[in-house]
Structure 1
């Protein structure tokens, strides 16, 4: 009987840097798709992606791919055939898990029946769509080009196409947002019954139009207490709808946690493809150039478009495992950390644990360390306690 080759688990992120219009709060690497379609730049980018995938063929052949996440930008802003061809190429090179999760980010108003047919044919089985808020005035204020009605139309089209695993994005802490806005969003979630919800607090990123408006004083944000009240309302309100928090910003029905994002939070291996994509493999972290021209040029020369690479030493990897793991409601397993890093966790972090327990920020059992509700609000303070000098 031939010896079976052990395949290494791998998750893949693919960055599609095109949107119909850039949101006012977004600092991701993205460009208006219309500016690139005119001279064939979109197709050229996907040809570069195909080349990058080919250069990783050796790695892919030895891997069991358990999740693929196609993000951006707005991947649904481009022709569906491009997405389909990428997944088919990966399928020809790698071994796909029987339970593989393939997620595509979409925005309302960018879907067509033809695109959905391409997605279904390629094996996409999870859609993540940005709702953000049900207040259309707020949507306009943050630069979103859809309305709540547009969202509903797209949501219904996805369901009709047969994709049941839908995730919605919500935002809180928006300019002028109220508790009533959060209640309305929760109410809509209860009607739609998605399998997953991601809820993020607005962060004003330097260099964005929203940052400029904030600096000028033309917008005001909810104060810290109101922002926290919105967060706790989301936690409790979604739980009442059967969508339970499993990570600081993520909620799901039973067994519908994001497999791909769990790879990040459990500090496991992932490969990033596309402009500005990041990877973590074999104790190395590396990232691609953020310039589309440089990305394509390097690949045309047969070179990977990596511009930064760093070795992750054991102490850094341990800290990341603790920090990322504590984001999960289930917390981190002390036994697993002890075995993986050859440490005695309770001894190594005795002072940190004493301080955190005294402040009511963590719960410690024989094997599990996790955040309290108070610890979730002050999570960054908790993480710093485990950082070594």
Structure 2
């Protein structure tokens, strides 16, 4: 039986860039001229062909189209990529194929392409129901646009929908967060991902903040927002399974679990990252270089590293502790030939003293307080 492989595909095109976004993306209008989008997907096809023998060692358990805004391009491109992947190797019977969409970019024609090609999960950015906040962070949609797109997805037959919800936004209040959750309650999505705003240097929102033009909620209010979301989603039956992710039972993101369980994944497209075995590598983030390299069938990694056992162990601990199920002592001891409790006895004693972790006979996991301070917990396991 072949091991499962997760595949991430980067679609680096957007209608416009959000004010907080530091992902590699480009305005789609700039590439619609001179067949730039076609050139990108031709390069992507070449990349899939290049990795054909590697992909054939696996069954594909998940495919994730991220961006950018994958729903900004013609649906035929999504169909084309999936058709090529299916010609290379088999998909598992329970394969999860996720496509990120932004409200206002969907059409019935695109949705028909998605469903016909096997897309069975949609991830859509709600972010907030406060239209003033949406405009302030550079989102191009309104709440009404979101509702129209949500209804179109449901009509298409795709029922597995995940929503993104942001908190810690400029001038956002607890009441704003509660209103967003009230809307979510009426929609009954299968999954919600929630993220606190992180200001990245070089983004417009960062510049406004450092120049004193916007205020952000303080740490106490930001944490109250997070716990409000946590509690309200639990009331909906959306149970937390990872620090930022909540789902109905059986609707956890299979693709993201590939990352959190340190399983193999292949990233395709501009600036994408991969980890196969002990090797981690990344594509260039420069569009012209990406297209030229794959036209010549001569890839040059922007980053490449072989992880040693020490690095693999730390990643397994860090990623595993993000999950509510935590890490299994038996599994980690067997994988790395260690006695976890002995190796990290000092760290375990200290973290338990601060009530940041819970240690059972078989597992280690974060407490709610530990989730709030997870980065500090992870540092204790850097050996």
- TM-score of the pair, normalised by structure 1: 0.98
Q: Deviations over 1:337-383 (max 9, x none)?
A: 00000000000000000000111000000011000011011101100
User: Does residue 229 of structure 1 match 2:231?
Assistant: no
Partner of 1:287: 282
Q: What is the SS of the residue equivalent to 1:246?
A: strand
Partner of 1:209: 204
Distance across 2 between alignment mates of 1:56 and 1:138: 42
Distance across 2 between alignment mates of 1:221 and 1:87: 41
Partner of 1:347: 342
What is the correspondence of 1:1-389 to structure 2 with a 5 Å cutoff?
A: 6-388=1-383
4+ runs deviating over 6 angstroms: none
Asked whether the equivalents of residues 66 and 100 of structure 1 are also in contact (C-alpha less than 8 Å), the reply is yes
Distance across 2 between alignment mates of 1:120 and 1:373: 39
Per-residue deviation, 1:301: 1.2
Per-residue deviation, 1:307: 2.1
- TM-score of the pair, normalised by structure 2: 0.99
Tell which deviates more after alignment, 298-307 or 196-205.
Answer: 298-307
Distance across 2 between alignment mates of 1:195 and 1:8: 27
Distance across 2 between alignment mates of 1:386 and 1:224: 25
Distance across 1 between alignment mates of 2:297 and 2:70: 25
Per-residue deviation, 1:304: 2.4
Asked whether the equivalents of residues 60 and 95 of structure 1 are also in contact (C-alpha less than 8 Å), the reply is no
Tell which deviates more after alignment, 294-303 or 229-238.
Answer: 294-303
Distance across 2 between alignment mates of 1:262 and 1:162: 25
Q: What is the SS of the residue equivalent to 2:333?
A: helix
Distance across 2 between alignment mates of 1:137 and 1:299: 42
Per-residue deviation, 1:305: 4.1
Distance across 2 between alignment mates of 1:305 and 1:12: 19
Q: What is the SS of the residue equivalent to 1:25?
A: coil
Distance across 1 between alignment mates of 2:15 and 2:97: 23
Per-residue deviation, 1:9: 1.6
Per-residue deviation, 1:8: 2.6
Asked whether the equivalents of residues 55 and 304 of structure 1 are also in contact (C-alpha less than 8 Å), the reply is no
State the number of aligned residues. 383
Distance across 2 between alignment mates of 1:373 and 1:7: 37
Structure 1: gaps (5+ residues): 1-5
Distance across 1 between alignment mates of 2:244 and 2:250: 17
Distance across 1 between alignment mates of 2:53 and 2:301: 17
